[in-house]
Amino acid sequence: MRKTPLLLVPILLLGACTWGITLDDAGKQVRTAWSGDVSQCRDLGKVTVSVMDHVGPVDRNDIKVRDELEVMARNEAAKMNADTVKPLGEPTDGSQAWGAYQCGSARPSSTATPARQPAPAASGGTQTFPISGG
């Protein structure tokens, strides 16, 4: 009987990893320029965000970590009155730097397409795409 509560603890801890990381209303107005040219935008500074990339010895899903980093960067950039963010490098140990920009009508043309395109499957020609609203 006592083993049941002990088995639930790791499940609850893993489920809590994403608790509270949501895109707020201001962050919804911030676009992500994955590979877009932001040279026409006003540079407002840099935002560095971090999340847990592993729980104990277990690495978290890379896509989930990247999605959470993007959400946090958009939320933080909104506080700076930015309307666009662009990653300044790859995530390292759950941390990533993002540029915050105010582009207005000069928004980068490729804001909705992530730089990491999924590769077609070896058989059947099926492709998968990330499901992320924004």
Distance of alpha carbon 41 from alpha carbon 56, whole angstroms: 41
Give the pLDDT of residue 74.
96
For residue 44, the tally of other CB atoms under 10 A from its CB is 17
Query: Strands 95-102, 42-50: parallel, antiparallel or unpaired by DSSP?
Result: antiparallel
On whether the 17-106 domain is CATH 3.30.110, my answer is yes
Flag the least confident range among 14-23, 74-83, 88-97.
14-23
Flag the least confident range among 4-8, 39-43, 66-70, 71-75.
4-8
Give the pLDDT of residue 37.
87
Which sequence spans correspond to the domains of the chain?
Answer: 17-106
Question: Which of 18-27, 52-61, 94-103 holds the top average pLDDT?
Answer: 94-103
